[in-house]
Structure 1
Amino acid sequence: MARSDWNPWRRLLALPNESRTKTLVIAFLVASVCALMVSGATVLLRPIQTANRAAEEQARIETLVRGIPGMADLLEQSGGTLSTVVVNLETGRAAEDVTAETLPVTLADAANWSTLEPGEDIAGLGQRPDFAQIFLLREGEDISLVLLPMTGQGYGGRIDAIMALRGDMNTIAGVAVTNHSETPGLGGRIEEPAWQADFPGTELRGPNGDMRFSVARGEASSPYEVDGITGATRTGRGFTNMVRFWLGPEGYGPLIRAIQRGEF
């Protein structure tokens, strides 16, 4: 009498190829091995994928910022690593549920805008978004440069700009006007590199912390002023109010304090 083979693997292989049991078991085993291989590959490749996504994001950010007139040279001089973050303007902290990709959809919802009282709306905005995308340049763990988008009302209409602040959050590193409707040859000169070149080194606040930045009516006479533009007093006043608003308590004030405390 032949001895029975109790090895289940041998018994399976001994079954004819037409056996439904053999087909199902082999198919299950093959699928399991493939699933394990895919899972293993995912685990092994995850750091590479993460690094690739980070590199793509870094390239996207740098392309965006370097496309702003006047900012490319500033970034070259500053060095470091550029990153972006969406901040909650009320708290001055990184937004928990809003990213650069979802920001446009978020701001399409009127619930994510705050109405400004007349006394605090010196930039003439009417309302202010609750979230804003900013750019940070780090040297190691230290923030060396912060790029802050801002908008306000000039003489002819809306002015959009990006202001770069040094790591002390009180010294202007540069400014770029990205959009305006000011009169050509007068207020429209705010887009000229020669005027914007007067901003680097200008200080925002005095020793007691009070906001003192302004566009002068003529030539600057203090470290808190930049030269005014002849015949464009109202444009200069609008630019002053825009900067004061966005760097004040209703704008980036909470963020600036958080950075100064080393919390960002």
Structure 2
Amino acid sequence: MADREWNPWRRLLALPNESRTKTVAVAFLVSAISAALVSGATVALRPIQTANRAAEEQARIAALVEGIPGMATILEQSGGELSTVVVDLSTGRAVADLRPAMLEAALLDADNWTTLDAAQDLAGLGQRPNFIQVFLLRDEDEVSLVLLPISGQGYGGRIDAILALAGDMNTVAGIAITNHSETPGLGGRIVEAAWQAQFPGTELRDNSGQIAFRVARGQAASLYEVDGITGATRTGRGVTQMVRFWLGPDGYGPLIDAIQRGEF
């Protein structure tokens, strides 16, 4: 009688190919080896995948911001890495479970808006969203620039803009008017590069911490003013009130405080 083979692997291989036991065992082994290889590849490729997702996100943000007239130049001058975050305006903190891609759907819910009373509503909006997407430019660990969407009522209707603030959160780095209904040749001149070019370097708050920015009725006479547009007093007042509202306590005030405390 031949010696019995005690090696299980050799015993398995010795079985006929049509053996059900051999078929099941080989299938199990192939599945186990494949799973191990896939798991290993996933672990090995995870850093590359993370880097690729980060690069894609940067490209998406850059494309979005560069579509805003004048913002590409401001970003080039500032340097750093651009990121985006959804902020709870009441607290000034990032909303961890609300990504920018989810914001539009979230704002379809009336509960995610705050009604403004007459004393609050400097910008003439009636209500403002509880959550909003902002853009931050970082130089190493510090915020060097923040891009803030703002809106308000002008003479002809709503004015939308992006206001860029330098890292001190008190100096305007630039402005881009993205939508308006102002009178061509009068208030409509707020889209002109020459008028917007006055904003960089303008300060928002005086030494007491009060918001002092305004569009002057004529020529600017202080660090807190930009020239008005002849024949467009109501448009200028609309821009003034829009900036004052959004930089105040019912707008980005809590966010600005958080950035100045180093929480972003």
TM-score, scaled relative to structure 1: 0.99
Question: 1:50 is paired with a residue of what secondary structure?
Answer: helix
**Residue 182 in structure 1 maps to residue 182 in structure 2:** yes
- Structure 1 residue 161: deviation in Å? 0.2
1:256 match: secondary structure: helix
Q: Which residue of 2 aligns with 1:62?
A: 62
> Hey, what does 1:201 align to over in structure 2?
201
In 2, Cα distance between equivalents of 1:184 and 1:132:
30
Unaligned runs of 5+ in 1: none
CA deviation digits over 1:189-248, x for unaligned, max 9? 000001000111100001110110000000011100110000100101111110000000
* Cα distance between partner residues in 2 of 1:134 and 1:174: 15
- The count of corresponding residues between Structure 1 and Structure 2 is 264
Deviation at residue 88 of structure 1 after TM alignment: 0.8
- Residue 231 of structure 2 is aligned to residue 231 of structure 1: yes
Which segment drifts farther, 227-236 or 69-78?
69-78
> Could you give the per-residue CA deviations for residues 85-139 of structure 1, whole angstroms, max 9, x where no partner exists?
1111111011121111111111111111111111101111111101111111111
Determine the structure 2 residue equivalent to 1:74: 74
Aligned equivalent of 2:245: 245
* SS of residue paired to 2:101: coil
C-alpha distance in structure 2 between counterparts of 1:105 and 1:44, whole Å: 36
**2:203 aligned partner, one-letter code:** E
Aligned residue for 1:37?
A: 37
1:192 maps to which residue? 192
One-letter amino acid matched to 1:102: M
Residues 152-171 of structure 1 mapped to structure 2, 5 A cutoff: 152-171=152-171
CA RMSD of aligned residues (A): 0.7
In 2: Cα distance, 1:98 partner to 1:155 partner:
35
**Distance in 2 of aligned mates of 1:232 and 1:226:** 14
Q: CA deviation at 1:6?
A: 1.5
The sequence identity of aligned pairs, in percent, is 73
Gapped regions of structure 2 (runs ≥ 5) = none
Runs of 4 or more above 2 Å deviation: none
Q: Residue type of the partner of 2:145?
A: L
Which string of whole-angstrom CA distances, capped at 9 and with x for unpartnered residues, describes residues 137-184 of structure 1?
A: 111111111100011111100000000000000000100000000000
- Measure how far apart 1:30 and its partner are: 0.2
Aligned to 1:22: 22
